[in-house]
């Protein structure tokens, strides 16, 4: 039976039926929960505001790719302007949050860079005296990380001395192109750490995933079906196991009874009608912006400050990983439009705290190809390499031809991801005037890049320039902090033991509403500096396993 | 001035001939421009305003005033010009761009970093993470 037929069968919800679990969001976290609950024989319905991806819509293999993808596949929902997304009020933020609505979630557009958090990420208070320790450790999470890697089909090379020993990756690392080799050369010249990239892109056929053919358009959807997203890695299995998935279903409220227990959700269906899905347990997997938005929209008159918010922390402590990029051009050809895009090389040289640098915590660098001629020209689009005040003539005329000749096919980009420390003033609130296509309040982001992040980025950019110049760069362009870089949305329903200082416990259960769970990165007490999806899926798996094991003790309405 | 001429004048100022590279109108016709606009209907209103600016003034002055006064129109004109130009097969040939091509490879092939000793140096530099036992 095809996925399409299964998906269709799954979507037929039975009126007024109470299921064991309803999940909001079919991104990486919701997909993990759905698959494992369904396999345990638990009835589960997933409500997703977006739709199934149509791979024919990904333009990567077509000449118009650079023209179309900067709109249709832009990671900022405000630019995409698709009614399946909700808009975000970004008038009060230094960084725009990026995401995508659909089966597979924001990973539809992710770079598939696959990194575990490091041991110290779970112990920042104990080691560096800042923020909070996590309620569990690196070692507690590792078995779940490895299990998720097998489900996702990750490729990589084991043995990195920046991590404790771990088992082999399911697939060999993707081939390192000239871009990766040049990035590594700079690090080698400096005597710094680097390692071949690990990516959620299997290098060989795996289940519904095809082998990667290095088309290099991962960030705008993979037309080959090679980049691992859960519409291919998890949903075919979840549907077979009996999970039901309803698309174009936007949840507007989590309902509770007099005892303060969740009874289900109300959602707006594809025809604009309100529907109710009753459930014994509600799991929210709507990401670090969508999850607090939904909790703040819920609760009614009983909890006017939002559901599960007695701590006042719902929406607060938003972390988005301030990001800088360094583009470096070289004399010799690097074929730098070729993928994977993905990371060909990463570095954790400056990951751990060194107080002599003037900031705490650290960064992860990833080396990527620079892409097609329009992007590297810097002349149009997101203006990543263009000063807003710059004269337009600097990017056009003869300068355009010279910039493209120097950069196109000859350049690489180092992305620098900085750990973001939690601050209550950085938060998601409900917008007073902006609404989505169903009239529901849009989230508003209130976020400032803090002083620690500014110092961290400056230090790392200076080091990165040393490295690329050591490898012979003839031109460097820096962008910091990149405004369109909020791809990691973390921290807005923090986990912890104390109900006064946290929203959920270490298993994702809300202190105030014990049958309401959050299983996305909203629960993370700190952000690490690595790309978070591996850790998001591993934590979701850990929570789901615990829910299955404890199902007889679960308090329900 | 027709729409076609108004746009081509702006496009040729933005993308003139230089070295081996041709100017915009040598490799792209207005039909190509219209095709690009059909891919990006969201740009059509800005594009229309952009080409309607007083044709009496020169291309540079018109672009200057659009850049200052109507960012959306400036962005529509420049986006369509650059994207259409680099879609041209002749331009792609000149810059050596086959498009986002498919490049199969042998996943089992030994990677150069394993044979040239470079990864060995990273390993030899030793452990980087901070262990956290008992914390
Ligand atoms: C451009 C880009 C590049 C990235 N690159 C990387 C990378 O290289 N490596 C990495 O690890 N991570 C990367 N990320 C981050 C990664 O995509 C996220 O960490 C991951 O998708 C989070 O999974 P999630 O399930 O928690 O949330 P999401 O994937 O955001 O999924 C949430 C889902 O919930 C749905 N939803 C929200 N609200 C509602 C509602 N009210 N009703 C119904 N449905 C709702 C949304 O439509 C969405 O589908 C990137 C992200 C972006 C945008
Ligand atoms: S590089 Fe690989 S994973 Fe990325 S878009 Fe191309 S084929 Fe897909």
Q: How far is the CA of B103 from the centre of ligand 2 (A)?
A: 10
Count CB-CB contacts under 10 A for residue B125: 13
Q: Which residues contact B36 (CB under 8 A, 6 or more apart)?
A: A64, A67, B80, B83, B84, B87
Check if the beta carbon of residue A252 is closer than 8 Å to that of residue A266. Answer: yes
Query: Assign residue A397 a region: left if phi > 0, alpha if psi is -120 to 50, beta otherwise?
Result: left
Taking CB atoms and an 8 Å cutoff, what residues of chain A touch B104?
211, 213
Q: Which residues contact B61 (CB under 8 A, 6 or more apart)?
A: none
d(CA A173, CA A437) in angstroms, rounded, equals: 42
Q: How far is the CA of B122 from the centre of ligand 1 (A)?
A: 33
A285 lines ligand 1 (CB under 6 A): yes
Q: Tell if the CB–CB gap between A63 and B87 is shorter than 8 Å.
A: yes
Q: Tell if the CB–CB gap between A398 and B96 is shorter than 8 Å.
A: no
Looking at the complex, report in whole angstroms how far the Cα of residue B1 sits from the nearest Cα belonging to chain A.
22
d(CA A539, CA A144) in angstroms, rounded, equals: 7
Q: What is the pLDDT of residue A11?
A: 52
**Annotated domain spans of chain A:** 3-53+100-371+409-553
Q: Provide the token pair at A332.
A: 């010799």
Q: Does B117 touch chain A (CB under 8 A)?
A: no
Count CB-CB contacts under 10 A for residue A405: 18
| Peptide linkage before A340 cis (omega within 30 of 0) | yes
Which residue of A lies nearest to B22 if distances are taken between CA atoms?
Answer: A401
Going by their DSSP bridges, the two strands A244-246 and A44-47 should be labelled as parallel
Q: Which residues contact B110 (CB under 8 A, 6 or more apart)?
A: none
Looking at the complex, report in whole angstroms how far the Cα of residue A168 sits from the nearest Cα belonging to chain B.
15
Check if the beta carbon of residue A339 is closer than 8 Å to that of residue A215. Answer: yes
d(CA A48, CA A30) in angstroms, rounded, equals: 9
H helices present in A302-397, as ranges: 373-377
Taking CB atoms and an 8 Å cutoff, what residues of chain A touch B103?
213-215, 338
Count CB-CB contacts under 10 A for residue A512: 20
pLDDT at A14 over 70: no
The three-point CA angle A273-A276-A279 to 5° equals 155
Q: What is the DSSP letter of A495?
A: B
Q: Which among A191, A204, A379 is the nearest to B78, CB-wise?
A: A379
| Average pLDDT over all residues of chain A | 94
pLDDT at A4 over 60: no
Q: Does B83 touch chain A (CB under 8 A)?
A: yes
Placement of tokens 């949050």 in the chain = A97
Q: What percent of chain A has pLDDT over 90?
A: 90
Can you give the pLDDT of all 135 residues of chain B as single tens digits? 688 999 999 999 999 999 999 999 999 999 999 999 999 999 999 999 999 977 788 999 999 999 989 999 999 999 999 999 999 999 999 999 999 888 888 888 999 999 999 999 999 999 999 999 777
Span A243-265, pLDDT tens digits? 999 999 999 999 999 999 999 99
A201 lines ligand 2 (CB under 6 A): yes
Q: Tell if the CB–CB gap between B64 and A184 is shorter than 8 Å.
A: no
Span A287-324, pLDDT tens digits? 999 999 999 999 988 899 999 999 999 999 999 999 99
Q: Which among B104, B126, B132 is the nearest to A120, CB-wise?
A: B132
Which parts of chain B are beta strand (E)? none
CATH superfamily of A3-53+100-371+409-553: FAD/NAD(P)-binding domain (3.50.50.60)
A358 φ/ψ angles, rounded to the nearest 5 degrees: 90, 15
Q: Tell if the CB–CB gap between B107 and A216 is shorter than 8 Å.
A: no
Asked casually if ipTM beats, i.e. exceeds, 0.90, the reply is yes
d(CA A156, CA A173) in angstroms, rounded, equals: 4
d(CA A205, CA A10) in angstroms, rounded, equals: 26
Q: What is the pLDDT of residue A12?
A: 52
Check if the beta carbon of residue A393 is closer than 8 Å to that of residue A102. Answer: no
d(CA A219, CA A72) in angstroms, rounded, equals: 12
């Amino acid at each position: 039976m095809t996925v399409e037929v299964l998906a269709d069968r799954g979507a037929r919800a039975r009126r007024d039926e109470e299921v064991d679990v309803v999940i909001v969001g079919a991104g990486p976290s919701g997909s993990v929960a759905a698959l494992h609950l369904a396999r345990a024989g638990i009835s589960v319905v997933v409500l997703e505001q977006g739709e199934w991806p149509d791979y024919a819509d990904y333009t990567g293999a077509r000449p118009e790719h650079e023209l179309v993808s900067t709109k249709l596949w832009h990671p900022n929902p405000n630019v995409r302007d698709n009614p399946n997304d909700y808009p975000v009020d970004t008038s009060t933020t230094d960084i725009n949050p990026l995401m995508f609505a659909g089966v597979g979630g924001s990973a539809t557009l992710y770079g598939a860079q696959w990194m575990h958090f490091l041991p110290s990420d779970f112990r920042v208070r104990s080691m560096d005296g800042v923020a909070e320790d996590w309620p569990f450790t690196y070692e507690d999470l590792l078995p779940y990380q490895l299990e998720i890697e097998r489900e996702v089909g990750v490729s990589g090379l084991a043995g990195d001395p920046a991590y404790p020993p771990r088992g082999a990756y399911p697939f060999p690392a993707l081939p390192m192109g000239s871009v990766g080799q040049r990035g590594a050369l700079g690090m080698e010249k400096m005597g710094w750490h680097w390692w071949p990239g690990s990516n959620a892109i299997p290098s060989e056929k795996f289940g519904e995933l095809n082998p990667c053919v290095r088309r290099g358009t991962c960030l705008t959807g993979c037309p080959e079906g090679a980049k691992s997203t859960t519409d291919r890695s998890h949903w075919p299995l979840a549907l077979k196991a009996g999970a039901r998935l309803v698309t174009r279903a936007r949840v507007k409220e989590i309902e509770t009874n007099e005892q303060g227990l969740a009874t289900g959700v109300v959602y707006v269906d594809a025809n604009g009608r309100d529907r109710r899905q009753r459930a014994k347990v509600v799991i929210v997997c709507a990401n670090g912006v969508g999850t607090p938005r939904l909790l703040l929209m819920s609760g009614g008159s009983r909890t006017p400050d939002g559901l599960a918010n007695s701590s006042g922390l719902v929406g607060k402590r938003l972390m988005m990983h301030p990001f800088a990029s360094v583009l470096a051009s070289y004399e010799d050809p690097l074929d730098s439009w070729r993928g994977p895009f993905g990371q060909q090389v990463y570095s954790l040289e400056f990951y751990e705290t060194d107080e002599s640098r003037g900031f705490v915590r650290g960064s992860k660098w990833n080396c990527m190809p620079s892409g097609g001629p329009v992007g590297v020209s810097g002349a149009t689009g997101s203006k990543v390499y263009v000063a807003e005040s710059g004269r337009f003539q600097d990017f056009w005329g003869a300068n355009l031809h010279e910039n493209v000749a120097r950069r196109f096919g000859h350049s690489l980009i180092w992305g620098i991801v900085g750990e973001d420390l939690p601050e209550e003033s950085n938060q998601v609130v409900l917008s007073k005037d902006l609404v989505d296509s169903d009239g529901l309040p849009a989230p508003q982001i209130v976020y400032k890049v803090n002083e620690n992040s500014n110092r961290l980025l400056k230090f790392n950019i200076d080091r990165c320039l040393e490295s690329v110049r050591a490898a012979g760069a003839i031109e460097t362009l820096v962008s910091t902090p990149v405004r369109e870089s909020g791809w990691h949305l973390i921290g807005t329903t923090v986990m912890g033991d104390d109900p006064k200082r946290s929203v959920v416990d270490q298993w994702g259960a809300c202190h105030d509403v014990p049958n309401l769970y959050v299983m996305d990165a909203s629960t993370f007490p700190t952000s690490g500096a690595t790309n978070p999806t591996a850790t998001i899926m591993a934590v979701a798996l850990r929570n789901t396993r615990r829910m299955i094991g404890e199902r007889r003790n679960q308090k329900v309405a | 001035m027709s729409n076609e001429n108004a746009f081509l004048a702006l496009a040729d100022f933005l993308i003139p001939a230089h070295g081996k590279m041709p100017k915009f109108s040598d490799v792209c016709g207005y039909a190509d421009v219209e095709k690009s606009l059909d891919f990006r209907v969201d740009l059509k209103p800005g594009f229309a305003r952009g080409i309607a600016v007083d044709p009496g003034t020169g291309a540079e002055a018109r672009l200057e005033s659009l850049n200052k006064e109507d960012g959306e129109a400036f962005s529509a004109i420049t986006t369509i010009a650059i994207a259409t130009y680099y879609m041209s097969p002749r331009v792609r040939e000149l810059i050596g761009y086959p498009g986002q091509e498919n490049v199969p490879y042998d996943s089992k092939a030994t990677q150069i970093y394993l044979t040239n000793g470079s990864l060995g140096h990273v390993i030899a530099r030793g452990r980087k993470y901070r262990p956290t036992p008992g914390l």
